[in-house]
């Protein structure tokens, strides 16, 4: 299949007539059962009609994703949650009030019209109302219920620019809507509301931009899936996708924890030995310490005082290491709280949980 790429230059300023017409065409492609990749505020999504089983099948095939890994249905009006979910607890309404449109996904019981192909065979469904103006328009034009996983090939880091989507999906999807680089750079926070809320707390299944603290302020208290806090717990994550090795660069990534000087000394020593063995070496660092490293490629993601910049640049850095054929990568670690919890969750997964403490 030939993939058409449509550019929307400054979505925050509104759409030109031509851009609006292009999005209407993309919406028609979705309604006819085709696939369209599009920007959201978190990462790029690979969209298909969420109520069409054949579209779900095509999404799994294009991604190379196991079909037991459910898809998120994206909506563009709050009230559509009642169409997708079979029951909407008041906690879901409170969360929607506080964080929608935005980077939060809720797990709820599914309604009868959502096919099991979309939910990976589950009786529950993931619902998200994104804030990105292009995503919202496309969902509207595409029939209002757009199933969309991240638009990477399974196992690759999620795409944060249209070029990343094209690397993975050219020839596999009908259209790519290029709305520029995304703002957040990590996937949405997922909260499970299908627990018995009379005795149990809503549970975070995937940390993201909406932090535990922000959720606690709205709901009183929340839990976090034990597999996020303790990856060696031996239990299966409740979000099926969290069990896969993910976000993974082709080179081997190791996370290094400790005092900054000791981390730099350790990494420089290891990298020298790696280079002597013929490896190309890379480092992921914050701006405060980036100059201390001697490696073939040092990626500075931003300041530790601005974790949003670290989140925004992380997946692109992992992809660039692949393109630059870096085979051994070391990353600094970040405090495991606030947005840092999401950053560390993605880094640990990309590293296959290889961590060295120095």
* Residues binding ligand TXA (CB under 6 A): 40, 42-43, 45, 69-72, 105, 107, 119, 122, 124-126, 128, 148-150, 187-188, 190, 205, 238-242
Rounded Cα–Cα distance for residues 40 and 130 (Å): 6
Q: Which is nearer to ligand TXA, 307 or 332 (CB)?
A: 307
Of 89-97, 142-150, 162-170, 347-355, the window that binds Mg ion (rule: CB under 5 A) is 142-150
Q: Which is nearer to ligand TXA, 188 or 270 (CB)?
A: 188
Which whole-number Å values give the CA distances from 167 to 32, 47, 177, in the listed order? 25, 17, 14
CA dihedral 122, 235, 249, 204 (to 10 degrees): 60
For the chain, what's the residue count? 358
State which residue has the least CB distance to ligand TXA: 241
Among ligand TXA, Mg ion, none, what binds residue 227 when CB lies within 5 to 8 Å by partner kind? none
Q: How far is the CB of 52 from ligand TXA (least distance, A)?
A: 17
Which distant-in-sequence residues (6+ apart) come within 8 Å of 62 by Cβ?
Answer: 35, 46, 169, 172, 173
User: Considering CB distances under 5 to 8 angstroms, the limit depending on partner class, which of ligand TXA, Mg ion, none binds residue 195?
Assistant: none
How far apart (Å, rounded) are the C-alpha atoms in residues 202 and 215? 9
What are the percentages of helix, strand and coil residues in the chain, rounded to 5? 35, 20, 45
Residues 6+ apart with CB under 8 A from 247: 156, 157, 158, 315, 318, 346, 349, 350
Task: Using DSSP, state whether 307 is helix, strand or coil.
Answer: helix
Of ligand TXA, Mg ion, none, which one does residue 107 interact with (CB within 5 to 8 Å by kind)? ligand TXA
Q: Are 110 and 127 in contact (CB under 8 A)?
A: no
Least separation in angstroms between CB 34 and ligand TXA: 17
| Pick 88 or 126: Cβ nearer Mg ion | 126
Q: Which is nearer to Mg ion, 118 or 150 (CB)?
A: 150
316, 309 in Cβ contact below 8 A? no
Query: By C-beta, is 35 or 107 nearer to ligand TXA?
Result: 107
Burial of 263 (0-12, 13-18, 19+ CB in 10 A): buried
For residue 101, whether the previous peptide bond is cis, meaning omega lies within 30 degrees of 0, is: yes
Q: Which of Mg ion, ligand TXA, none sits in contact with 105, Cβ below 5 to 8 A by type? A: ligand TXA
- Minimum CB separation from Mg ion for residue 157, in Å? 9
Asked if 150 is part of the footprint of Mg ion (rule: CB under 5 A), the reply reads yes
CA 69 – CA 244 distance, rounded (Å): 10
Closest by Cα among 266, 332, 327, 270 to 297: 327
Letters for 98-137 (x = contact with Mg ion by CB under 5 A, - = none) are ----------------------------------------
Which of ligand TXA, Mg ion, none has residue 188 at its interface (CB below 5 to 8 Å by kind)? ligand TXA
Complex with Mg ion: residue 105 or 289, whichever CB lies closer: 105
Nearer to ligand TXA, 119 or 211 (CB): 119
- Comparison of 3 and 327: residue with beta carbon closer to ligand TXA: 3
Residue 128 interaction partner, one of Mg ion, ligand TXA, none, beta carbon < 5-8 Å per kind: ligand TXA
The residue ranges that bind Mg ion (CB under 5 A) are 150
């Amino acid at each position: 299949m030939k993939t058409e790429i449509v550019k929307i230059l400054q979505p925050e300023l509104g759409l030109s007539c031509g851009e609006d017409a292009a999005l209407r065409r993309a919406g028609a492609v979705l309604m006819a059962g085709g696939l369209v990749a599009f920007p959201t505020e978190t990462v790029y999504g690979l969209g298909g009609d969420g109520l069409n089983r054949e579209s779900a099948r095509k999404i799994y095939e294009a991604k190379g994703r196991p079909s037991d890994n459910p898809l998120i249905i994206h909506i563009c009006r709050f009230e559509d949650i009642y169409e997708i979910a079979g029951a909407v607890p008041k906690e879901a309404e409170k969360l929607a009030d506080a964080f929608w449109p935005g980077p939060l996904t809720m797990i709820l019981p599914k309604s009868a019209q959502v096919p099991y192909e979309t939910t990976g065979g589950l009786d529950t469904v993931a619902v998200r109302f994104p804030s990105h103006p292009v995503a919202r328009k496309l969902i509207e034009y595409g029939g209002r219920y757009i199933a969309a996983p991240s638009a990477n090939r399974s196992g690759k880091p999620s795409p944060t620019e249209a070029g990343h989507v094209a690397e993975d999906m050219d020839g596999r999807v009908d259209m790519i809507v290029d709305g520029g680089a995304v703002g957040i750079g990590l996937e949405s926070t997922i909260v499970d509301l299908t627990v018995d809320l009379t005795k149990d707390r809503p549970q975070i299944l995937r940390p993201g931009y909406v932090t535990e603290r922000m959720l606690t302020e709205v709901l009183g208290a929340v839990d976090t899936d034990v597999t996020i806090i303790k990856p060696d717990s031996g239990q299966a994550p409740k979000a099926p996708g969290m069990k896969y090795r993910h976000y993974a660069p082709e080179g081997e990534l190791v996370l290094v924890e400790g005092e900054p000087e000791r981390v730099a000394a350790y990494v420089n020593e290891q990298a020298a030995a790696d280079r002597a063995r013929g490896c190309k070496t890379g480092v992921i660092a914050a701006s405060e310490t980036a100059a201390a490293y001697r490696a073939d490629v040092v990626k500075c993601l931003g300041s530790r005082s601005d974790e949003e910049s670290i989140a925004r640049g992380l997946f692109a850095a992992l992809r660039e290491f692949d393109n630059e054929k870096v085979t051994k990568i070391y990353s600094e670690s970040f405090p495991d709280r606030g947005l840092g919890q999401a950053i560390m969750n993605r880094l640990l997964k990309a590293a296959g949980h290889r961590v060295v403490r120095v």
